[in-house]
Amino acid sequence: NFSSVQGETSEALMKQLKLTEKADYFATGVSIVMHPNSPMVPIIHMNVRYFEMSNGIWWFGGGIDLTPHYVVEDDARWFHQQLKNVCDKTNTEYYPKFKTWADNYFFIPHRNETRGIGGIFFDYLKNDPNQKGTSKEELFDFTHSVGNTFAPTYTHLMQKNKDLPFGETEKKWQMLRRGRYGEFNLVWDRGTKFGLE
C-alpha cells in the first residue's frame, strides 16, 4: 500500500507530538505485509514513511520485521544480518538500537509473547547536528535503502521455503499465528491508531 495524506493536525496528534499550535501536516509511506499461503514461508512486514509539518518539523520512520510460523534459526540469523548490513552502511549504531526498538515494539503484552523474530524499527529520525549522517538527504537515503532491502531479502526466504511440504496441522498453526498478528495490529500498532485518528 502507498499512502499520501495531508491536513490540519488533530487535537490527538497535537497532544501526541506535544504541540501548542495547530499546523498542517503531510505524511506519506509505503507499507507491505505478506501473508503467504504456505505456513513454511514466513510473514513479513515492511514500511517506510515520511512526515512533515508546516511549522518545519519533519522525520522519517520505518522498519522490517519477520514473523515465521516455524522459526528456522539459520533463516533468522540470515534475515537479521541483511538488516544489519543495510544499517551499518549509514551508521553502525543503528542496527543494535533499531533491533532493540523492534523487539520492544513487536511485543504482545496481553500474551507476554513476541509477534515474531523482530527486525528493525525506527521512528522520528531527523536532523541531529551532533550526529553524523542525519541530514534530510542522508536519512532519506537510509530509509530508501531499508525499503530496497525488502524484495531481495524476502525473495530469498520464499525461494528457500516455498516447496517445503505441509498439511492440516501446519495450516492450523499458521491460522493461530495469523490471529496473534491480527491481535497486535488491532490492539497495539501505532500505525493503525494513527490512521484511525
Q: Which of 45, 69, 144, 156 is catalytic?
A: 45
Rounded Cα gap, residues 87 and 94, in angstroms: 6
List the one residue out of 55, 94, 51 whose CA is nearest residue 190: 51
More confident residue, 133 or 63: 63
Q: What is the pLDDT of residues 72-112, one digit of tens each?
A: 999 999 999 999 999 999 999 999 999 999 999 999 999 99
pLDDT at 195 over 80: no
Give DSSP secondary structure letters for the chain.
-EEEEEEEPPHHHHHHHT-SS--EEEEEEEEEEE--SSTTSPEEEEEEEEEEETTS-EEEEEEEEEE-SS--HHHHHHHHHHHHHHHHTT-TTHHHHHHHHHHHHSEETTTTEESSSEEEEEEEE---TTSTT-SHHHHHHHHHHHHHHHHHHHHHHHHHHTT----HHHHHHHHHHHHHHHHHHHHT-HHHHHHH-
13-62 pLDDT, tens digit per residue, is 778 777 788 889 999 999 999 999 999 999 999 999 999 999 888 999 99
pLDDT at 11: 82
How do residues 106-147 score in pLDDT, each as one tens digit? 999 999 999 899 999 999 999 877 676 678 999 999 999 999
Q: What is the pLDDT of residue 73?
A: 96
Confidence of residue 156 (pLDDT cuts 50, 70, 90): very high
CA neighbor of 144 nearest in space, from 11, 16, 47: 47
Confidence (pLDDT) at 197? 67
Is residue 110 part of the annotated active site? The answer reads no
Place of cell 531527523: 126
- pTM for this model (two decimals): 0.89
Backbone angles phi, psi at 18, to 5 degrees: 60, 45
Range with lowest mean pLDDT among 9-18, 25-34, 154-163, 179-188: 9-18
